[in-house]
Amino acid sequence: MKKSGKIFISIIILLAAINPLFSQNGNPTYSFWNQGPLHGELSFKGIYRDQQTYFGELEESQQSKYFIGGIKLNTTAFLWKPDILNLYAGGEYNPESRDEKYLVVPDRSEVRTLGKLDLRANMFNNKAVNLSAYLNLNKSYFNREYLTNVKSDHRLWGGLMGVNNKIVPFTLSIRKVDWRQEETETGRIFTMVQQNIESRFTKSFSSFDKSELRISYDDYNYRYDLQNETSNQVKRANFTNSVWFDKQHNYSLNSTIIYHDQAGTYQFTRFEVLERVNFIMPKNFRLSTGYNYFELTDINQETRSQRGELALNHKLFESLYTTLFTDISAIRQTFYDENNLKAGIDIRYTKKIANSRLNLSYRYYAQLTGMESQPSVVRIVNEMQTLTDGESTLLEKPYIEAGSVVIRDNTGTIVYQENLDYIITPRGDFTEVTRVPGGQITNGQDVIADYNAMQPGSYSFRASNNSLSASLSFFRNLFEIYYRGASQEYPFVNDTEFLTLNRYYQNIYGARVNAGFANAGAEYDNYNSNIIPYRRIRYFLNMNWVIKSRLIISVNSNINDYKVLDEDLDQLYASFNGRLAYNFSYATRASLEAGYLSQAGRNIDLSLLTGRAEISHIIRKFQLKAGLEMYRRHYLESDIYFTGTYLQLSRKF
């Protein structure tokens, strides 16, 4: 037996042995050791699975039999009083026996825990000094989006000390993570070891101010598949302060100072100051102003920027909101100097008319931009982007060097792999990033992009941007129609060879129905741009319906038909998830789940169908579950057909 399995069993035996020695009724005895009741669950599960895999002319057949026995235990205890030392211990262990005709087929529909240990301790709660510690070990199988099977070994431990006093309350925490993931089908392995120390200080001199200082140190090492090991050491300091000049908090000053120093594989320093002042004035006027200083230095370049904002807002009655705003910024970079001036107006109007409501908004701004530089290749770092299925994500700069793009998570810790986690597609002079389903990047995730791009020479331009939206809803928002339009033009341009500006006209028309338990709608988007013109039609339906606490119906579906006009490229995204559950009685319950996901287009072809049916019945203190699950997948050039059945018996105590 592996060492980890022995640890899990030892903890479980210890919990089971200690419990009978002490009180089982949960009533505190206020003796030296006060033991709470022992709770847990015993289970046995038998599984049969069959999977057929086709990749081109290759064919694989897999049949698997699983017999899984599991035990879960958890209990609490305290010394003398709960405020002195409070303990929690929980464990789970699921040994299994397999009869494999080929390879392991991990769970398709749920996370399957092989072993888990959770220990927590709290000392001196509600005292001037309090301590806490925790340990969490977890081994499990799971899958990403029903596409990639992963075996995970996650280990976490740490502690926290809190000091409460009237001078400077503070906390000090220590945390270590040891994480290993293996994709069982591709063989890719991801490992990460991260250590974190953080202290937090809070202080208020009166009821008119509040300050917080956070200081942290991170040391992490990670390796993704065959990439070189990455090791970074990060020092961070973050100071925030709020000051109010009156009891009603109508006048306030908010300050933030950030310092980030990173050494190791990726070296850079960042310093940032943000200041904001708010004034609530008579006659429903509100004035806000802000200032931002930013400095970033790495081994290749240095960037310094200053930005000032001013906005005057007015509210007329309950229906008309008007804002005048201006924004000025100056950027000084190793390879260029850039100046921007933006000014505009924002108007919002809402009016109730009989059984309907009208909403209107209009925004206009003009922008002046001037750039002084020599044509050269520069390194763009820490550009924030969001990768969402069915939406085009273009990197900000044109003329990007092939092979220079690096995509990381928003913490900068994990470096993703091209063609496995994301793909790069040229779009004229620009570059599009698309996530790969089943990879490390989830749908809608924020990422950071680094790349080399050609910096144009000196240029200047004036931009004009208009946006208008209107909606009309009827019968307390039961039915709504809406329109959104936007345009961006450049009345004046003094450009160079490598300058590409996005001129566009966009019109969106839509309608939706909101019936309380369900909402549905359709939307047409026509985006005429000199960079990536497209047309998109979207349909959606969401429903959650509970009938007399017995029948539960849940449906979520979305169709997104996306066409890039200048390349005559069609991409179709369709998804459906449905669930039907019925309670025959307190003891008997049945459920049916189905899902469908389809992506059609260049490098994204995917068809995925999943289904699961389950019935459960409680006999005294025993619960019996029986189920059938199905899985059909076509992705690029591979096909998988999977069917499984299971029977589970468990008893909670």
Q: Give the pLDDT of residue 347.
A: 97
| Statement: residue 13 has pLDDT above 70 | no
With bands split at pLDDT 50, 70 and 90, how would you rate the model's confidence at 521? very high
Q: Pick the most confident of 19-23, 80-84, 256-260.
A: 256-260
| Statement: residue 102 has pLDDT above 90 | no
Q: Which amino acid is at 339?
A: N
| Statement: residue 124 has pLDDT above 80 | yes
| Statement: residue 518 has pLDDT above 70 | yes
Q: Give the pLDDT of residue 21.
A: 43
CA distance 380 to 405: 9
Q: For 457-469, what is each residue's pLDDT tens digit?
A: 889 999 999 999 9
Q: Give the pLDDT of residue 70.
A: 87
pLDDT mean over 241-270: 92
Q: Identify the weakest region by mean pLDDT among 176-185, 212-221, 485-494.
A: 176-185
- Distances in whole angstroms, Cα of residue 355 to Cα of each of 360, 384, 479: 17, 43, 11
Q: For 614-634, what is each residue's pLDDT tens digit?
A: 999 998 889 999 999 998 988
Q: For 308-351, what is each residue's pLDDT tens digit?
A: 999 999 999 889 999 999 999 999 998 889 999 999 999 999 99
Q: Identify the weakest region by mean pLDDT among 62-71, 106-115, 279-288.
A: 106-115
What long-range pairs does 534-542 form, CB within 8 A, spacing at least 24?
534/392, 534/562, 534/563, 534/564, 534/565, 535/562, 535/563, 535/565, 536/390, 536/560, 536/561, 536/562, 536/563, 537/561, 538/390, 542/518
With bands split at pLDDT 50, 70 and 90, how would you rate the model's confidence at 5? low
pLDDT mean over 582-609: 88
pLDDT mean over 118-138: 93
Nearest-CA neighbor of 512 among 523, 502, 504, 501? 523
HSE-CB for 63 with a 13 A CA cutoff: 1
110 vs 93, which has greater pLDDT?
93
Nearest-CA neighbor of 121 among 111, 132, 109, 108? 132
pTM of the model: 0.81
- Distances in whole angstroms, Cα of residue 555 to Cα of each of 275, 390, 443, 541, 544: 46, 20, 19, 7, 7
Q: Give the pLDDT of residue 409.
A: 87
With bands split at pLDDT 50, 70 and 90, how would you rate the model's confidence at 499? confident
Average pLDDT along the chain: 88
603 vs 555, which has greater pLDDT?
555
With bands split at pLDDT 50, 70 and 90, how would you rate the model's confidence at 66? confident
Q: Give the pLDDT of residue 25.
A: 46
pLDDT mean over 292-311: 94
| Statement: residue 491 has pLDDT above 60 | yes
pLDDT mean over 354-364: 93
The torsion defined by the Cα of 223, 229, 230 and 231, in degrees rounded to 10, comes to 110
Q: Give the pLDDT of residue 183.
A: 87
pLDDT mean over 279-287: 90
Query: What string of H, E and C letters represents the secondary structure of 185-197?
Result: CCCCEEEEEEEEE
With bands split at pLDDT 50, 70 and 90, how would you rate the model's confidence at 527? very high
Side-by-side strand order, sheet with 445-455: 376-387, 445-455, 406-409
* Rounded percentage of the chain residues whose pLDDT exceeds 90: 53
Q: For 170-192, what is each residue's pLDDT tens digit?
A: 999 999 999 999 988 778 898 99
Q: Give the pLDDT of residue 121.
A: 95
Length of the chain: 653
